[in-house]
Structure 1
Amino acid sequence: MNPETLRRVREEIQRASRILLTTHQNPDGDGLGSEVALAAYLTSLGKETLILNPDETLERYRFLDSAGQIHVFDAPGCGEQVRSCDLIITLDNSSLHRMGKMEQAVRESGARSLCIDHHSTTDPFWSVNVIDETACATGEMVYDLIKSLGGELNLASAEALYTAMVTDTGNFRFSKTSPRSHRIAAELLAKGVKPARVYELVYEQQEEGFVRLTGEALSGFRLEAGGRLGWIALTRRQIVEHAADLADTSEIVNHLFAIRGVKVCLLFKELPDGKIKVSLRSKGAIDVHAVATAYGGGGHQNASGAVLDGPLDSAVAKVVTDARSLLA
């Protein structure tokens, strides 16, 4: 972070008394871990801090919230809570439309605002944008910010940031994993973080139904473009049948990369309202982010997502055609 940006961030925090932290819809390990760690630091400064997200925390990440500080924007009084804050910090998300049901309250709050994100898209709404596309995760940026501001991490904060980095790098295997990422991870381990504990809590707590759904999904995958494009479609019936409504199904698609030659993978999931969530993954220089943004989504070059109107067959046809063009 350059000195001028750090100065502006410091000023925003110093002038604020009540700070709201939030992230994108369907919060993931990076957004949640970044919130928890930054909230602890801000609280240590004497700031009143509120974490309020558009959607519930998935079961696999609830160990991060042992203090019960993460709240969901789902009650009549939540709009007033947003308006009562004089600084809003969004983490791992720079797009207002990805705040879902919180968007209007944030837009109309009148508060100063700060965006900390490692995605390439930025929104002019935010008073200060802190964007680092080279960071492997927003958690990496939050670590640097806390240290640059003179803060220290306790074990809970270190575990939260380690979770942020582990989940957003696919256990340190994605392309943005850097020497810097590993150095930060080493410092978090020195604080007492146990990698085996984090892995078990995040990846080994699935319900039987999710595992059966994964098997069914993989049994029906399709290959296109000479075996370079793989995709899976999950119907509403399949999800309900396996009681997997609350499961994070986006990771299922990565299994297709085990097939030699596959460069792009897609997972389509039919949502309760009839819309279709698509998770896009790629290898190397193939930019699935360009496809996602065409449908109002976002993410990274190699990992992005979007929500389309149904029906399922129509959404599959559109996105598969676009993905095929990336391989032409």
Structure 2
Amino acid sequence: MGAMDWTPLKKVIDENESFLISSHVRPDADALGSELGMRAILLGLGKKVCIVNASAPPSNLHFMNPPGVILKLNDTVTKATIPQHDVVIIVDTSAWQQLGSMSEYIQSSEAKRVVIDHHVSSDDLNALELKDVTSAATGELICEIAEEFGVTFDADVANWLYAAIATDTGWFRFPSTSARTMKIAAKLMELGAIPHEVYNLVHEQSSVARVRLGGRVLARTQVEAEGRLVWIYADSKDLAETKAAPSDTEGLVNVCLTIGGAEAAFVAVELQTGQIKFSLRSRIQHNVAAVAEQFGGGGHKLASGATMAGPLPVAVERMKAAFLNMLNAET
């Protein structure tokens, strides 16, 4: 497995008893799987632990939302009623903006901070930062921590972590997939993860609303720069009329990249708050993390995200200009 030194984390865990785990807004499978895996490790070590996020898990990841485990701030709990904790462990992000409403709470808390992440983009979170950008998923790092601490996962946690790694690697298609990734996935299978069931739960349980939204949005696919840039959008009217959620746009940006000649793509989604959420993707020669960072976002070279103020047409033009600058600079 990896060569991370987990000694500093071991010291923090040994010296403290209660832990809060959190991750980024609109959590994906890697965020949820990493949270649930870290929770299992801490419980296995006899610690008190709770998970509180700014956003609820999306409907397509309902199997990664065990009852009463993942709490939503200002819904299940408030800042005043979050269980007492000595340490905050932030997984799968190193950016304040990505923490949403949890950001203000964590910054005001006197609890120690730990970050476990694999993303390139980063803020100074004044934390013990345990980051490995060579890891295909934060879930990989959680598996390494479990091995380091001698904790064995049950089948449920193995499935959640398999989902974390499989989705973040595009089901082991992305260049980030390594021999280490495959070894960890195999170990999770030995512990009870069932790949075809995980795939079915993630990708073959779509709602009618999700399918209708996808058809509507993809029907107006736009191309720029002689087909090198592809983009789509979903506005509030699309979401309302199809009865879909913003999370139902997940994966559509990858469809854009399947167009021959496409080198980069983005999807813009208008949220209820009026903000515009962007998902950015690129082929191997382009760095969309640098684009995302221009707008306070971040992520990986080939897959990143950002959120900016509306209105939608203005936000799209700003993002389009940034993409075209990237493509022209790297021609």
How big is the shift at 1:64? 2.0
Q: How does 1:183-202 map to 2 (within 5 A)?
A: 183-202=183-202
Deviation at 1:75, TM superposition (A): 4.5
Q: After superposition, what is the alpha-carbon deviation per residue over 1:85-138, rounded to whole angstroms, capped at 9, x for unaligned?
A: 101100001112221111121111101111000011333333310010000000
2:127 and 2:293 map into 1 onto residues whose CA distance is 23
- For 2:31, the aligned partner's letter is G
Question: Judging changes above 3 Å, is the alpha-carbon distance between structure 1 residues 124 and 275 closer, same or farther for their aligned structure 2 residues?
Answer: closer
Contact 2:232/2:266 (<8 A) preserved = yes
Deviates more, 1:190-199 or 1:79-88: 79-88
**Deviation at residue 17 of structure 1 after TM alignment:** 0.9
Are the equivalent residues in 2 in contact too, given 1:21–1:52 (CA < 8 A)?
yes
Q: 1:164 aligns to what?
A: 164
Distance in 2 of aligned mates of 1:124 and 1:212 = 41
What is aligned with 1:298?
298
Aligned runs of 1:110-259 on 2, under 5 Å? 110-245=110-245, 247-259=247-259
How many angstroms apart in 2 are the aligned matches of 1:180 and 1:23? Answer: 24
Q: Contact 1:253/1:267 (CA < 8 Å) preserved in 2?
A: yes
Q: Which residue of 1 aligns with 2:54?
A: 54
Q: Confirm or deny: 8 A CA contact 1:139 1:164 kept in the other structure.
A: yes
Which amino acid in 2 is paired with 1:223? Answer: V
* CA gap 1:250/1:106 in 2 versus in 1, 3 angstroms: same
Q: Partner of 1:327: helix, strand, or coil?
A: helix
245-254 vs 216-225, which deviates more? 245-254
Cα 1:123–1:321 shift into 2, 3 Å = closer
2:103 matches 1:106: no
Which portions of structure 1, spanning 4 or more consecutive aligned residues, are displaced by more than 4 angstroms?
none
Q: How does 1:56-95 map to 2 (within 5 A)?
A: 56-75=56-75, 78-82=78-82, 84-95=84-95
CA deviations on 1:290-316 (whole Å, 9 max, x unpaired) are 111100111111111111111111111
Write the distance in 1 (CA, Å) between the matches of 2:76 and 2:38. Answer: 26
Where does residue 310 of structure 1 map in the other structure? 310
Whole-Å separation in 2 of the counterparts to 1:76 and 1:204: 29
Tell whether 2:12 aligns with 1:12: yes
Give the Cα separation in 2 of the matches to 1:312 and 1:247: 17
Q: Per-residue deviation at 1:155? A: 1.0
Supply the distance in 1 between the matched residues of 2:127 and 2:313 (Cα, whole angstroms).
41
1:97 aligns with 2:97: yes
The superposition leaves residues 242-295 of structure 1 with CA deviations (integer Å, 9 ceiling, x where unpaired) of 001253313111111221110101101111122211111001020011111100
Question: Alignment partner of 1:248: what SS?
Answer: helix
Kept in 2, the 8 Å contact 1:58–1:246? The answer is no
Q: Quote the Cα distance in structure 2 between the aligned partners of 1:221 and 1:287.
A: 22
Q: For residue 169 of structure 1, report the CA deviation from its aligned partner.
A: 1.1
Question: What residue is the counterpart of 1:45 in the other structure?
Answer: 45
Do the aligned partners of residues 219 and 229 (structure 1) sit closer, same or farther apart at CA in structure 2, a change above 3 Å counting? same
Q: Partner amino acid for 2:30? A: D
Aligned-pair CA distance for 1:318 = 1.1
- Superposition pairs of residues 19-34 of structure 1, within 5 angstroms: 19-34=19-34
Give the TM-score normalised by the residue count of structure 2.
0.95
Computed over aligned residues only, the root mean square deviation of the Cα atoms, in angstroms, reads 1.6
Q: Match of 1:85, SS? A: coil
State the shift of 1:235 in Å.
1.6
What is the rounded CA distance, in whole Å, between the counterparts of 1:267 and 1:65 in structure 2? 26
What is the distance in 2 between the residues matched to 1:108 and 1:39? 23
Please tell me whether the aligned partners of residues 71 and 77 of structure 2 are also in contact (alpha carbons under 8 angstroms): no
The one-letter amino acid paired with 1:208 is V
Distance across 1 between alignment mates of 2:159 and 2:44 = 17
Query: How many residues get paired?
Result: 327
Flag the 1:50–1:286 CA change in 2: closer, same or farther, 3 A.
same
Distance across 2 between alignment mates of 1:236 and 1:64 = 27
8 Å contact kept, 1:83–1:110: no
Between the aligned residues of both structures, percent identity stands at 35
Counterpart in the other structure of 1:277:
277
The 2-side partners of 1:126 and 1:35 are apart by 20
Q: Distance in 1 between matches of 2:147 and 2:67?
A: 23
